[in-house]
Structure 1
Amino acid sequence: MSDSAIAMQPPRPAPARSDRPWRIGSAILVLLALAPIGGLAFFASRGSGELWPHLIANVLPVAARTTALLLLGVGILVTVLGIGTAWLVTAYRFPGRRLFEWALLLPLSVPSYVMAFAYLDVVHPVGPLQTGLRHLFGIADPRGLRFPEIRSLGGAILLLGLILYPYVYLPVRALFVMQSASLLEASRTLGAGRFRAFRTVALPLARPAVAVGVSLALMEALNDIGASEFLGVRTLTVAIYTTWVTRSSIEGAAQIALVMLAIVFALGLLERLGRRGMNYSAPRGNAQPMAQPLSGGAALLAVVACALPILLGFIVPASYLVVSAARRIALGGLPADLWIWTGNSVLFAAIAAALTIAIGLFLATAGRMSRRKSLHGMIRLAGIGYAIPGTVLAVGLLVPIAGLDNWIANAVKGVWGRSPGLILMSSGAALVLAYCLRFQAITIGGIESGFSRISPSIDMAARSLGAGTARLSGGIHMPLLSPAIAAAGLLVFVDCMKELPATLLLRPFNFETLATYVYGEAARGTYEDGAIAALVIVFAGMLPVALLARAGTRERRRPLA
């Protein structure tokens, strides 16, 4: 048998006895991932039903309709922006194209609540935009220039779409780059114009990437709480938060969360249906897409189309934050507790990233070592938290965390004679657990991607030389997986620093992170005071953007086979 044939064979399945620890450990992690759903069902079933008629009559219809319209609008906007910009930078050559390839990812670094935080002040009647326009046109009356209201459903759709379109742009551009140029050339020789070739050949082949990107963007829109609340949009997420915090009804919040969870699963089903039957393979030797040069008006339109999302989605909010932060520092210096908030954010994000890497490494290695379908199914379930919005996750975690907290307190009291209180909630362990469950899928997917680049023949050779599982993992897999582990850990770290809904609901008392501080200042309307913390979050968010841009450049420069 040839070496290439051996390299394509999967590793030999481990004996049933040897993969038992992997199965037991994976089952425990799956139960932990499913615990929030059980907690939701528990709280929802304990509701007396007194609040439910009010929810049905006044809360759920409005929140569900608003959420559906928000998802529809965001879905359309991210699809148009993501596919359009991906096709422009792939199929055409125009000034600044290389810059736009990675700069179109920059809006990913701006959290939604920071975007709303910035635009609420930028487009305010006495804000810099309207003030500058009135000065330009000689209008003295602040009411003489009518601007569209940003505090509206349309404003939320626009801002969330500007932030989330990179979720579509990134996978769609990757598939456009991989598509064989001969397919488009064949369609051109048959008389199809460039638009028709795009519509009938390139776009259908990119449907799996579109389905994945749009579903991720919609789940992030569904998870949003800061931007929606700032803009006065009462979504299901906001309804859960206000029912819990304002009405002090955890049961009502759990009942709304179950409705929201059904929407999440429906989005996942739509994503699966969108990718069904759409697998294909293109030869790498022909995967060199042809880029047609543009000039004149066409080139100008392409530049404007690519620059506008970057301008509105990154440059405007980032510039506002820089100016406001500089003004705040000039007037009063840095906030006294800035380093405490930053330290809290970094510490909890680092702990969560380390734990998710350890869990992701265990699960991905379990999938590598065993070929049992049941085990691979459990690995998929372990990452289900990424599909659960932060507010829903926080509500569902209260039951298992409270139960474990009470058990620990009773055990300690039985030994030492006094109760230590709620250790998990007061120490922030509950928040770290929420971070781990929320972003576990990132490390699982990233490490599995790294494993896919390690030939199974390496495992076979090591086994034949007597290497056990520990030596194989520590001496061979870990060094080869280090880039994938570092990338996944960085993504989780930054996502934890930006996470707002779960942090608001599960943080210890008198505990502030950068995200919660920005949220509090925006809620009070003191935008300049929160600008410095918001700017720190944006700078942190630029780290994964730089990583993704570097990965895309390395992939583009890789020689074709």
Structure 2
Amino acid sequence: MLLSLPIFTVLWSIGADSDGVWQHLADTLLWSYIGQSLTLMTGVGLLVLVLGVVPAWLVTMTRFPGSRVLEWALILPLAMPAYIIAYTYTGMLDVTGPVQGFIRETFDLRFGDYWFPQVRSLGGAIVMLALVLYPYVYLLSRMAFLEQSVCVLEVSRTLGASPWRSFSRVAVPLARPAIVAGLALVLMETLADYGTVQYFGLSTFTTGIFRTWFGMGSSTAAAQLSAVLMLFILVLIVTEQWSRNKARFHHTSSKYSQLHPKRLAGWQSMAAMVFCALPVLCGFLIPFLQLSWWAWDTRELVNFGDFSNLLYNSLRLALVAALITLVLGLGISYAKRLQPGMPMRTAVRVLSLGYAIPGTVIAVGVLIPFTFFDNTLDGWMRGQFDFSTGLLLSGTLGAVMFAYTVRFLPVSMNTLDAGLGKIKPTMDDVGRSMGLGNWQMLRRVHIPMLRGSLLTAALLVFVDVLKELPATLILRPFNFNTLAIRTYELANQERLTEAAASALMIVLAGIIPVIIISLSISASRPGHDSRIAD
């Protein structure tokens, strides 16, 4: 109930009077918001499935030139904020950018003499978002493939299944909970994105919420649009669970042989290398090099003196938020496993809506009740004791952390749900037959088996908080800045080249944890022996 407070604050506004603004939106812009949001979700969802699942299978089950590097390199785009990559590619591919300039100069053409894809478009937004969001699906898919029994896959081959058929008919169905969990995170992140769609001039729910709030001056109508956005996520969750029809996915084999990836050769090796390297090249390396060039070009204009303080603030918030959401996510997911009744499932669904709400709306949902509490308490203390308590909750790092928890707890829960879903219920029965209580079962059985899921959940929240902007911008204490805020302030002033330095710091701060966690996930497979080389 406490963590759902911002959500209830938004839902409470549904019946409020918006002075005709909501009716105006319903008559004019609402269907445009719905149409473009659905198109964006569909395009991003299909693209991340291809970019996430296939490379995860290739780097796990096969070996080809560069596969060991690509195992962790495929996660690197996760550290790249979507709006930064949108700015970067627009600067590179626009009419005045270096790419089109090179084409005109090389072929002696003028503008209008040739066709070039429009970057600032719905298709461009789909590609930009997919390039930075596919690691959600890749991480969870790879973790699921690592935890699968080789014996099961070998049985499918003895029954005459080709490698592709074994992948599509055995491996993917077993990994479905993890794949769907990653896809759900991607779709919720797509719906909640503001920077990319606003920069590309698209009419989605998030841009509509901001225009209604700041342009029309109606926070009530903006909250009502947010409620419709939450309804979309609820439909996604219910539809996925209905499609499974109460099916569960468990490994029936308890034998986990050491992985012996198949070595590819010839055109298969080259195709696998190109397919896996392309997302890294487009989603990380090219924008990273362009940002590095801009940062070097403007090095004399950038003040690096306060970067250590900005980095410390960003890492501190990210680490604490990751730990809080990890503990709460594990407790809630395990409680749902123990008590899978309707009340618990309903509560989890409500909490899952938090990730779909833009950070700005969550910040308002936090600010309204926190400010009400502070003002009420201060008024009562003044009347009774002539003493002012000031602002105890609003305007503090506690309010920022509460917003982070509401926003990113679903990331932790979805990841841990996928991990718990692969642990057979008979494991719980065996533990209870040995006299283990619920706490002992969690500590001695589930947590060791969930090591990969725990690390993945911590990684996802850590990197997400590093990139989070709206909630921090609204709820932060005075004179408190992060790297994301500094990047936004400079980019908002059209000083993109100067913003490159702080943007690079966000990326660099997330790279090392990404690599470490990726290697840890690789070693978390049951039956893994680090002494045996691939």
TM norm. shorter chain > 0.5: yes
- Find the aligned partners of 1:367 and 1:557 in 2 and give their Cα distance: 24
Matches within 5 A, 1:45-124: 45-124=15-94
Tell me, yes or no, if structure 1 residue 219 matches structure 2 residue 191.
Answer: no
Summarize deviations over 1:386-427 as a string: whole Å, max 9, x none.
543234423433432232122232134235636565553333
**AA partner of residue 173 (structure 1):** R
Task: Compute the RMSD of aligned alpha carbons.
Answer: 4.0
Distance in 1 between residues matched to 2:180 and 2:468, nearest whole Å = 24
Deviates more, 1:479-488 or 1:389-398: 479-488
Q: 2:356 aligns with which of 379, 382, 388?
A: 388
Comparing 510-519 with 69-78, greater Cα deviation is found at 510-519
How many aligned positions are there? 519
What letter matches 1:118 in structure 2? Answer: T
**1: CA distance, partners of 2:469 / 2:478:** 16
For the pair 1:268 / 2:237, whether they are aligned, the reply is yes
Structure 2 contact 302–498 (Cα < 8 Å) conserved: no
Does 1:33 pair with 2:40? no
TM-aligned CA deviation for residue 325 of structure 1: 1.4
Q: Paired residue for 1:9? A: none
Provide the residue aligned with 1:280 in structure 2: 250
Structure 1's unaligned 5+ residue stretches are: 1-30
List per-residue Cα deviations over 1:81-119 (Å, max 9, x = no partner): 222222333444322222222221111111212221222
- C-alpha distance in 2 between matches for 1:72 and 1:462: 48
Q: Which residue of 2 aligns with 1:538?
A: 507
Give the AA of the match of 1:256.
L
Deviation readout 1:488-523 (Å, 9 max, x if unpaired): 556534322211233344445675432233223333
Q: Is 2:178 the partner of 1:186?
A: no
The answer to whether the 8 A contact 2:81-2:467 is kept is yes
Distance 1:274 1:548 in 2: 32
Aligned partners of 2:312, 2:166: CA distance in 1, in Å? 52
Correspondence list, 1:118-267, <5 A:
118-135=88-105, 137-139=106-108, 141=110, 146-177=115-146, 178-179=148-149, 180-188=152-160, 192-267=161-236
Conservation of the 8 A alpha-carbon contact between 1:382 and 1:441 = no
Q: Deviations over 1:256-282 (max 9, x none)?
A: 001000001111123323444141314
- Which one-letter code corresponds to 1:217 in the other structure? V
Secondary structure at the counterpart of residue 394 of structure 1: helix
Q: CA deviation at 1:163?
A: 1.2
Distance 1:187 1:357, change over 3 A: closer
**Are residue 406 (structure 1) and residue 375 (structure 2) matched?**
yes
The residue type paired with residue 542 of structure 1 is I
Matches within 5 A, 1:327-366: 327-329=297-299, 331-335=300-304, 337-353=306-322, 355-356=324-325, 359=328
Following superposition, the deviation at residue 290 of structure 1 comes to 6.7
Instruction: State the one-letter code of the partner of 1:234.
Output: S
Counting only pairs closer than 5 Å after superposition, residues 358-507 of structure 1 correspond to structure 2 as 359=328, 380=348, 383-384=351-352, 386-389=354-357, 390-415=359-384, 417=386, 419=388, 422-442=391-411, 491-507=460-476
User: Separation in 1 of the partners of 2:363 and 2:118?
Assistant: 32
Paired with 1:46 and 1:387, the residues of 2 have a C-alpha distance of 24
Partners of 1:245 and 1:353 lie apart in 2 by: 31
Matched-pair identity in %: 34
1:101 aligns to what SS in structure 2?
Answer: helix
SS of structure 2 residue aligned to 1:298 = helix
Q: Name the CA distance, whole Å, in 2 between partners of 1:302 and 1:476.
A: 40
Contact 1:394–1:506 (8 Å) recurs in 2: yes
Separation in 1, partners of 2:489, 2:46: 31
What TM-score comes out, normalization by structure 2 length?
Answer: 0.83
Amino acid of the residue matched to residue 384 of structure 1?
A: S
CA contact (8 A) 1:363 1:379 kept: no
